[in-house]
Chains A and B, each alone.
Chain A
Amino acid sequence: MIPRVVPALLVQDGALVKTTRFADPRYVGDPINAVRIFNDKEADELVLLDIAATRSGRDPDEAMINEVASEAFMPVAYGGGVRDVQTATRLIQLGVEKVIVNSAAVDAPDRVEEIARHLGSSTLVVSIDAKRRDDGAFEVVTRGGTHETGLDVRGHARRVVGLGAGEILLTAVDRDGTRQGYDIDLVRSVSTLVDVPVIACGGAGSLADLEAVVRIGGAAAAAAGSLFVFHGRHLAVLITYPSYEERERLFRRDD
């Protein structure tokens, strides 16, 4: 199995945006158009995150999600405002394969457990946003990176797997949008601890970064935003995605 390469699309008020270190959202375009392009390029899977839903206390935008699902003939994992099993079930019925919870895994672990029990672990992705502290340890932050929880990332990762998470989407907040490469230490510290797939996110600036986070970091999938929506030194908006042959060359080397 070749590791998955996953475009991570951020939406805010119906627009596709890209953040830097979880701040300064820059308008990139129309989410549905982006989904169509990634579908034409036969992307492995999509992550779709509504970055404003939880912070503004909104429910998921079902009309937008329905439109995305009807254009995507690849699995879609949706996150943003998913707080209970009823919401999760509705989203799955709309046609997304997986729901992503983040803040709820900290604030209401019993509801997360309920989602796993009803919908199965394969359907539940727990997203962990991690910030490196001065002492080198990683702390879990929620609500779009604005709320410090005091929780250690490794302990939290172990706990959410116990709740039934089928995958962990692990994002290094400090690398988001920087194109400086993934935080491989962070990814490795979690991938060696849990036996579910870890999707690494935050910092990818080249295909070599994807390879490194898989090979050294132990990620089962590499997610990226900027890498697939910006192009060149001046960061013009251009949607790209490596072909299957490129992905195969990248990950099968020396296997």
Chain B
Amino acid sequence: MIAIVDHGMGNLGSVENMLRRIGADGRRTADPDEIKRADRLVLAGIGAFDGAAARLREIGLMDVLNELVLERRVPVLGVCLGMQLMARTSEEGSHAGLGWLDAEVRRFVFRDGPTLRLPHMGWESIQPVRPSPLFDADDQDLRFYFSHGYHLVCHDPTDVAAVSTYGYEFAAAVHRGNIVGTQFHPEKSHHFGMDVYRRFLRLPGSA
């Protein structure tokens, strides 16, 4: 079972629909015991960083998630805000993130070149920059749906699995051991996104 962590801030129905479409058993839950029994975790979400981080603490999930991901090495996929929550801090708020990645979340600022419209909204191509479980070496013309005004800045460049460009290059996907994350929405990116979820299911589990 794949636990779709329900922190009350997200398009979790979309993730559930996608997992069902590819034949996986995804369940929205905020119940720590059910989450502990999951083989895999999806941390999705939209909305504001502080709201989601505060909610995870409030419902007592921070410690549970830390134990599962850092100690038991359960595979986890973070999507959009879910990936950003894996950082230490965010310019969008004052709450601490999960800190699984040595990274921070910053708002798009266009210092050189024209000021682009925000949020960054629409289909964008991405380029894998190193081998990762999410993409195949022969993948070409990868396109995904983005919807965000903030992006992840990784202090360890080896965490970055793929990049995209909006005014400048930013991390489109990350990978570190059992942790993967995408700034884009694979559950809303047609067959491109289905491939990402299928590959997440193949990420070696802890058992």
Which A residues lie at the B interface, using CB under 8 A?
1-4, 39, 42, 44-45, 66, 69-70, 72-75, 92-97, 117-123, 166-167, 195-197, 220-221
Listed residue (B51, B166, B188, B191) with the most chain A CB atoms within 10 angstroms of its CB: B188
Task: Quote the shortest CB–CB distance from B194 to chain A (angstroms).
Answer: 7
What count of chain B residues pass the 8 Å CB interface test? 37
30 contacts between A and B (CB under 8 A): A1-B166, A2-B122, A3-B122, A4-B123, A39-B190, A45-B122, A45-B145, A69-B13, A70-B20, A73-B187, A73-B188, A73-B190, A73-B193, A74-B145, A74-B189, A75-B145, A75-B185, A92-B11, A92-B46, A97-B14, A117-B48, A119-B9, A119-B47, A120-B48, A120-B81, A121-B149, A122-B119, A197-B117, A220-B122, A221-B122
In the complex, chain B residues whose CB is within 8 Å of the CB of A69: 13-14, 17
Q: B11 to A118, Cβ gap below 8 A?
A: no
> Does B12 touch A at the CB level, under 8 Å?
yes
Give the docked Cα–Cα distance between A117 and B190 (Å): 29
A95, A96, A117, A122: the one within 8 Å of B147 (CB): A122
Closest to B18 in A: A73
Q: A73 to B194, Cβ gap below 8 A?
A: yes
CB proximity to A under 8 Å, residues B1-44: 9-14, 16-18, 20-21
> Does B94 touch A at the CB level, under 8 Å?
no
Q: B145 to A220, Cβ gap below 8 A?
A: no
In the complex, chain A residues whose CB is within 8 Å of the CB of B187: 73
A sample of 4 more A-B contacts (CB under 8 A), given A3-B122, A123-B46, is A2-B123, A93-B12, A117-B48, A122-B121
B12, B81, B123: the one within 8 Å of A44 (CB): B123
Task: Quote the shortest CB–CB distance from A179 to chain B (angstroms).
Answer: 25
In the complex, chain A residues whose CB is within 8 Å of the CB of B21: 73
Closest to B186 in A: A73
What 0/1 pattern do residues 108 to 141 of B give for CB contact below 8 A with A? 0000000101110111100000000000000000
Q: B124 to A95, Cβ gap below 8 A?
A: no
Give the docked Cα–Cα distance between A66 and B11 (Å): 12
> Does B148 touch A at the CB level, under 8 Å?
yes
B11, B115, B190: the one within 8 Å of A97 (CB): B11
Give the docked Cα–Cα distance between A74 and B184 (Å): 12
Give the docked Cα–Cα distance between A190 and B10 (Å): 30
Q: B124 to A1, Cβ gap below 8 A?
A: yes
Give the docked Cα–Cα distance between A35 and B38 (Å): 32
In the complex, chain A residues whose CB is within 8 Å of the CB of B148: 122
Give the docked Cα–Cα distance between A24 and B17 (Å): 35
Q: B122 to A1, Cβ gap below 8 A?
A: yes
Q: A195 to B121, Cβ gap below 8 A?
A: no
Closest to A198 in B: B117
B11, B118, B185: the one within 8 Å of A196 (CB): B118
Task: Quote the shortest CB–CB distance from A173 to chain B (angstroms).
Answer: 25
Listed residue (A4, A74, A122, A195) with the most chain B CB atoms within 10 angstroms of its CB: A122
Task: Quote the shortest CB–CB distance from B148 to chain A (angstroms).
Answer: 6
Q: A96 to B11, Cβ gap below 8 A?
A: yes
Task: Quote the shortest CB–CB distance from B22 to chain A (angstroms).
Answer: 10
In the complex, chain A residues whose CB is within 8 Å of the CB of B145: 44-45, 74-75
Give the docked Cα–Cα distance between A124 and B120 (Å): 13
Q: A42 to B17, Cβ gap below 8 A?
A: no
Give the docked Cα–Cα distance between A69 and B185 (Å): 14
Q: A196 to B10, Cβ gap below 8 A?
A: no
Closest to A92 in B: B11
In the complex, chain A residues whose CB is within 8 Å of the CB of B118: 195-196
Q: A220 to B121, Cβ gap below 8 A?
A: yes
Q: B12 to A75, Cβ gap below 8 A?
A: no
Known: A74-B190, A121-B119, A197-B117. A95 touches B149 (CB 8 A): no
